[in-house]
Structure 1
Amino acid sequence: MSSLRIFGVVAVATVALSLSACAPAADDTEAAAGDGVFPVTIEHVYGTTTIESKPERVATVAWSNHEVPLALGIVPVGMSKVTWGDDDDNGVLPWVEDTLEELGAETPVLFDETDGIDFEAVADTEPDVILAAYSGLSQEEYDTLSKIAPVVAYPDVAWGASLSEMTLLNSKALGLEAEGEQLVADLESETDAALANHPELEGKKVLFSFIDPTDFSQIGFYTSHDTRPGFLADHGLPMPEIVTEESEGTDEFYVTVSSEEADRFSDVDVFVTYGDAGGTIVADLQADPLLSQIPAIAAGNIVVFENGTPLAASANPSPLSIGWGVDEYFGLLAAPFAG
């Protein structure tokens, strides 16, 4: 997975309590997985995938797909290794570590996707299904994975599946469609409650950007197809006009415009970017003759997620990251307007 997808790609105990009605204990995993009616057919960008019987061995590729079975009490036999956002270099994000511990499970096989999908490693786990509802699988990758096991690809736009879409597609493939719907409802309620704790954010337009600190000639930002702005929009926060305009003309999750078009960012209330701890990104943005014309930058309404931290990774919302830190996440976005 590219560093841009991850980079410019939430307390688990709370999630476990809120999902107790639908998340079985590890000992009950097999029985829970059999609750669905098979075969089930999943529609996605490359056609349809039919899963004939309940999966006993679940593998996942790409970002966060493994969190759906884990949230429902199913431990995958293999999942993607985290290379950005990990706090202890073990390839697993902290909210996933917490859930594995809750389930009394060992860490699954980790697929290193730094240079693309490791098809051999996936095949070695002998999966019955491969979940990739949130991904950017190419046709060739999908075809290769399909020779190993039935594959759930993304619904329409690469890296464009929302949190709810990913959850519903992946849970349906497990025969747990009703449990997936309840999981989505619980996550939405938890997110809305956390957002209500930060009334300063009401009506605020947030721009998620990535600006190369060595090249201020371009402003890169995420479109409505990306989960970061999409998640906020799903919970009632309006999008900046430039995000709406640029999203209408592309299927890409990330675009760039010239800094000479700085006036197009005039309605942005919060300018979010990524940077190094103790870095000078805020001062540098405010000192730039073009970028400083953006009102949010001039006013200092800049939120910097520290590179490579779990909180930065949680900006890509996922079933387990919500409970881990969504309140802290909203608090950071609201910081420019707090007392």
Structure 2
Amino acid sequence: MPSRPFARSSAEFTRRSALLTGFSLAGGTLLAACGSGSDERVPGDSPASTAPGNFPATVQHRFGETTVEAEPKRIVVVGLSEQDIVLELGFTPVAVTEWYGEQPYAVWPWAQKLLGDAEPTVLSTADGFEYEKIASLQPDLIIGTNSGMKESDYEKFSKMAPTLPGVVGGTDYFSPWEDQTLLIAKALGQEKVGQNLVESTKDAYAQAAEANPEFAGKVATFSQNGFYDGLIYVYPPGLGTDFLSMLGFTVNPDLTELAKPGEQAAISSERLDVIDTDVLVIAAEEAEDIATLEKVPTYAALGVVKEQRTVYTDPILSGAMYFVTPASLKYVLEHLTPALKKAVAGESPAEITGAA
């Protein structure tokens, strides 16, 4: 079982950790306030401080249905990113799974404030699911909507506790973030709160799109940070590109026919003309990544590069773009929007951008 579904550089796992202490949305990117019913918690509140959710809760998923009889107290996250959703719904998991980045307790800066002083067990999928370790945690709910969980895994987990595998009609990894959020929220008895999370995130992006009409219709490309075995991996529309499309950009349509369903398009240096769009976003992470890219003649010759319409993101912003959860999308909205404005205007410097 792969520990990460995306092709990345082997150096990712040794990059230094960076911890930010939370963030606040500013200007036109403020998250719209949402009311909630008296029987629903506000995202981020702790379960102990609010009314209980709606139980029993029965949810449909790709392997059938699961019923959660009562509010879970020992949630184990076996997927790559679901801790964000669990935390925003006001629950603290007893275990999470490390994807990459070596963040404290596998929780990235955009969700650290929600984690607080909790110290969940950190699991690994480097050699597959750690069944014995997970069982020893005595879970009362196992969440793996973004875990690559197969039906055989689901059957093993279901003997331990109610289990959430992938969403109906979804893929092994990174099914639509809205679907994952709503599935998890309903299983936690907080369906309305989950709907609020989805709607408020989309509303915040809609507000930013309205505030930046110059984004509308511009063609944007999102790419990983370098060439691996002579290929650079680029994201077709609908694969982790919502942060661009929700802002009004048209995600590079030429990549669709170059990618297999649910996968990136692998582009050789001889075909880089396909990414010469109005805006290019590179999850570069380090200055040396930019220098390495610019040594490739066909890359350096691209109009989008020469005309300062390329954005290179730092490790935390890159991670937020990859995670694709309500919390990470809000972080992206705050920290990427100013850089996109510069890129559309042809004023984006060839340097790393992010929270700093």
| TM-score > 0.5, shorter chain as reference | yes
Partners of 2:50 and 2:121 in 1: CA distance = 19
Equivalent residue for 1:261? 271
> For residue 275 of structure 2, what is the amino acid of its counterpart?
F
Shift of 1:151: 2.0
> For residue 60 of structure 2, what is the amino acid of its counterpart?
I
Q: TM-score, normalised by structure 1?
A: 0.80
> Relative contact order, CA 8 A, sep 6+: which one is greater?
1
Task: Tell whether the 8 Å contact from 1:29 to 1:73 is kept in structure 2 after alignment.
Answer: no
Shift of 1:166: 1.4
Shift of 1:149: 1.9
Task: Tell whether the 8 Å contact from 1:160 to 1:225 is kept in structure 2 after alignment.
Answer: no
1:258-287 deviations in Å (ceiling 9; x for gaps):
333334334x222222335332x4455445
Q: 1:143 to 1:72 in 2, by over 3 A?
A: same
Equivalent residue for 1:318? 325
Question: Secondary structure of 1:290's match?
Answer: helix
Equivalent residue for 1:226? 239
Partners of 2:23 and 2:190 in 1: CA distance = 21
Task: Tell whether the 8 Å contact from 2:284 to 2:290 is kept in structure 1 after alignment.
Answer: no
Task: Tell whether the 8 Å contact from 1:129 to 1:150 is kept in structure 2 after alignment.
Answer: yes
Equivalent residue for 1:209? 223
- Does 1:134 find its partner at 2:146? yes
Partners of 2:228 and 2:179 in 1: CA distance = 36
Equivalent residue for 1:150? 162
Question: Secondary structure of 1:224's match?
Answer: coil
> For residue 222 of structure 1, what is the amino acid of its counterpart?
Y
Partners of 1:203 and 1:160 in 2: CA distance = 25
Partners of 1:178 and 1:214 in 2: CA distance = 43
Equivalent residue for 1:272? 281
> For residue 257 of structure 1, what is the amino acid of its counterpart?
I
Task: Tell whether the 8 Å contact from 1:61 to 1:130 is kept in structure 2 after alignment.
Answer: yes
Q: Which runs of 5+ in 1 are unaligned?
A: none
Equivalent residue for 2:60? 42
> For residue 299 of structure 2, what is the amino acid of its counterpart?
L
Task: Tell whether the 8 Å contact from 2:105 to 2:120 is kept in structure 1 after alignment.
Answer: no
Q: CA RMSD in A?
A: 3.2
Shift of 1:117: 2.7
Q: 1:81 to 1:288 in 2, by over 3 A?
A: closer
Shift of 1:161: 1.5
Question: Secondary structure of 1:303's match?
Answer: strand
Q: 1:310 to 1:230 in 2, by over 3 A?
A: same
Shift of 1:230: 3.3
Which aligned pairs between 1:1-339 and structure 2 lie closer than 5 A? 2=3, 5=6, 18=33, 21=36, 22-23=41-42, 25-26=45-46, 28=48, 31-32=51-52, 35-44=53-62, 46-81=63-98, 83-84=100-101, 86=103, 91-101=106-116, 105-155=117-167, 156-210=170-224, 212-213=226-227, 215=229, 217-227=230-240, 229-247=241-259, 250-266=260-276, 268-279=277-288, 281-282=289-290, 284-292=292-300, 294-306=302-314, 309-316=315-322, 317-338=324-345
1:111-167 deviations in Å (ceiling 9; x for gaps):
233443322222222112212223322344333323322221222112232221111
Partners of 1:90 and 1:160 in 2: CA distance = 21
Equivalent residue for 2:350? none
Partners of 2:109 and 2:79 in 1: CA distance = 17
Question: Secondary structure of 1:28's match?
Answer: helix
Q: TM-score, normalised by structure 2?
A: 0.77
Partners of 1:31 and 1:138 in 2: CA distance = 35
Question: Secondary structure of 1:5's match?
Answer: coil
**Residue correspondences, number:** 323
Task: Tell whether the 8 Å contact from 1:40 to 1:50 is kept in structure 2 after alignment.
Answer: yes
Task: Tell whether the 8 Å contact from 2:216 to 2:247 is kept in structure 1 after alignment.
Answer: no
> For residue 59 of structure 2, what is the amino acid of its counterpart?
T
Task: Tell whether the 8 Å contact from 2:278 to 2:344 is kept in structure 1 after alignment.
Answer: no
1:224-272 deviations in Å (ceiling 9; x for gaps):
3522x1342244321212223235xx33332313333334334x22222
Task: Tell whether the 8 Å contact from 1:157 to 1:225 is kept in structure 2 after alignment.
Answer: no
